Chain A
Amino acid sequence: QVQLQESGPGLVKPSETLSLTCTVSDASSSASSWSWIRQPPGKGLEWVGYLSYSGRATYNPSLKSRVTMSLDTSKSQFSLRLSSVTAADTAVYYCARVKSGGGVDFYYYMDVWGTGTAVTVSS
């Protein structure tokens, strides 16, 4: 079973850029697609974006102007960058593997999740 592990700084200053990396345990997952999801303290889940196996990205419209996701298949890693952060970006950030496809009945779901990493935005 593939495993995912998020890593990155736990504290980021306001207006700076949050950078996280997700390491995939199984190198054969290079044909998979990936997502980032976040969860503010005491709140629900929010989808941040999606990265296809080819490196094409789709972002949550509410974050689109600040988000960049990228893939490094040579390292079995993918990353998230969120610029100009504020306290509202404080959350636990999860990476996950995505299964998607279909035509008329489009399917999209996350079947494997990382354990999550907590990020606090504070000076």
Chain B
Amino acid sequence: QSMLTQPPSVSEAPRQRVTISCSGSSSNIGDNTVNWYQQVPGKAPKLLIYYDDLLASGVSDRFSGSKSGTSASLAISGLQSEDEADYYCAAWDDSLNGYVFGTGTKVTVL
């Protein structure tokens, strides 16, 4: 049912930078703000980015969000082993009249 598409996985060496894309449509990303959540295996999701590019409280400034048109991106700079997790974008969808999550991206630190 997800209408937000993310790459299944990305990997990079420590201290490098990775970017995760999130592709949507005019009814979700194009019209509403985007959020990003981090989920460490076995744990509850945690809010990272809200309102497209605002850092949630206590989140490292190595994380940053951006949006253009019907797509959004999450960047992680200075990659650390603790960043290994699943990442989900999400946005309200006007057509669905509900909240949609992306397909999720697994980040691996090589």
Contact = CB atoms under 8 A, between A and B. Distances in A.
Contacts of A106: 31-33, 92
A35 B102 CA distance: 17
A94 interface: yes
Interface residues of B, number: 29
Nearest to B45: A113
B81 interface: no
Most buried by A among B37, B39, B88, B98: B98
- Interface residues of B, dominant DSSP: strand
A94 B35 CA distance: 17
A101 B11 CA distance: 35
Nearest to A99: B50
Interface in B52-101: 56, 88, 90-92, 96-101
A114 interface: yes
A62 B97 CA distance: 11
Interface string A49-92: 01000000011111000000000000000000000000000000
Given A45-B104, A47-B101, A50-B99, A107 B44 contact: no
Contact of A107 (B50, B103, B104): B50
A47 B99 CA distance: 6
B97 A58 contact: yes
B99 A44 contact: no
A114 B43 CA distance: 10
Contacts of B33: 102, 105-109
A61 B39 CA distance: 25
Contact of B32 (A47, A105, A116): A105
B46 interface: yes
Nearest to B95: A61
A6 to B, nearest CB: 10
A107 B32 contact: yes
B98 A58 contact: yes
A16 interface: no
